Amino acid sequence: MSKLKVGMISFAHQHAVGYFHLLRRHPDVEIVGIADGVKERVQRYVEESGVPYFERYENLLATDADAVVVCSENKHHAEHTIRAARAGKHVLCEKPLGLSREEMERMIAACEEHGVQLMTAFPCRYLPAVVEAKKAVERGEIGRIVAIKGTNRGTMPGKWFVDPELAGGGAVLDHTVHVMDLMHWFTGSRAAQVFAHAETLFHPIPTDDAGMVHVTFENGVFGVLDPSWSRPKSFPTWGDVTMSVIGTDGVIHIDGLASRNEVYSDERDKAVWSYYGDSMDEWMIDDFVAAILGRKPVPITGRDGMQSALVALAAYESAKAKAPVDLK
């Protein structure tokens, strides 16, 4: 079986580094290039690996790459994905998929028109606790889901993430999409109405770092989510991913990062969580590669990414209006 030739567009998002290392050691992948207009972000990895560097992503798209991984600033996701689709490349795009319904629809349409697949990078679906909880729900162990409470509380990432022009939003956009995707996945339903609050409480930054997002799903399930950058620098890790799934016959509590050791170090002057569970990024990359090579549908589609991003965008609209917003 021939290898999947993969190119990477931008290392703006910190997940790009992890994806790069996973792709490099994947037995069925050959990385054919890295494109980033800011060479300093990728120079170390280019020099260590010998992978070709491209200043312009268009030049990478002109290679024989089969697929690309897009980890650029949120503002550029649509442009990079659409141009990749037109070049005949399959796409794994970092979340949030896009910054408006219109541009996400164009991304999805471009991929469909040119016969390539678009997968949204939602690795939280591969967390062991999440996987086992989903199986328990499917077995009917808690009956019918009536409500879900979730959190994705992290540390403030800084850099372009706090630039509204490049990121399109703050913590509510950055941290709503992961758990909202899990809520859509668990309920098998889409969000119908959003009522939210967004504010800047913890940091002197020009965007929101805290919020509460309340959702009513089409099937009647209620959801509430804390998407914030509320964790201090001294917190053991970047944050958390939790859900409590309330059913008619029971409740499942999910701590996505529970597989950890607590390490205390005078050198670092704080406790550190050392995660020993399966790598959610690795399983996601494996699924993307297997789907493209096997000519099968990707497991997390562009439409999945759009549905979760639309909730985050509606949350801002609701927070501004101080009223519920219906999703169309």
pLDDT digits (tens, 9 = 90+) for 256-311: 987 777 777 777 677 777 766 678 999 999 999 999 999 999 999 999 999 999 99
Span 169-182, average pLDDT:
98
Q: How far is CA 287 from CA 126, 281, 291, 300, in A?
A: 10, 10, 6, 9
Q: How far is CA 133 from CA 121, 229, 252, 255, 312, in A?
A: 20, 26, 7, 10, 24
- Predicted confidence band at 243 (pLDDT cuts at 50, 70, 90)? very high
Span 228-253, average pLDDT:
92
**pLDDT given for residue 259 in this prediction:** 76
| Separation of CA 261 from chain center | 25
Residue 164: which CATH number? 3.30.360.10
| Whether 314 and 232 share a structural domain | yes
Q: Which residues pair with 93 in a beta bridge?
A: 70, 120
Q: How many domains does the chain have?
A: 2
CA angle 79, 85, 310 (to 5 degrees): 55
Domain extent at residue 158 = 125-279+309-326
Q: Which of 64, 86, 116 is the last residue of a domain?
A: 116
Would the pLDDT of 1 be above 60?
no
- Predicted confidence band at 235 (pLDDT cuts at 50, 70, 90)? confident
Return the structure tokens found at 39. Answer: 């060479």
Q: Which of 91, 116, 141 is the last residue of a domain?
A: 116
Q: Which of 98, 116, 134 is the last residue of a domain?
A: 116
| Whether 172 and 315 share a structural domain | yes
Residue 67: which CATH number? 3.40.50.720
Span 183-201, average pLDDT:
98
| Whether 275 and 130 share a structural domain | yes
Span 15-43, average pLDDT:
97
**pLDDT given for residue 275 in this prediction:** 67
* Strand spans (E) along 143-258: 145-155, 191-199, 210-217, 222-231, 242-247, 251-255
Residue 287 covered by a domain: no
| Whether 62 and 191 share a structural domain | no
Residue 38 covered by a domain: yes
Rounded CA-CA distance 176/95 in Å is 10
Residue 298 covered by a domain: no
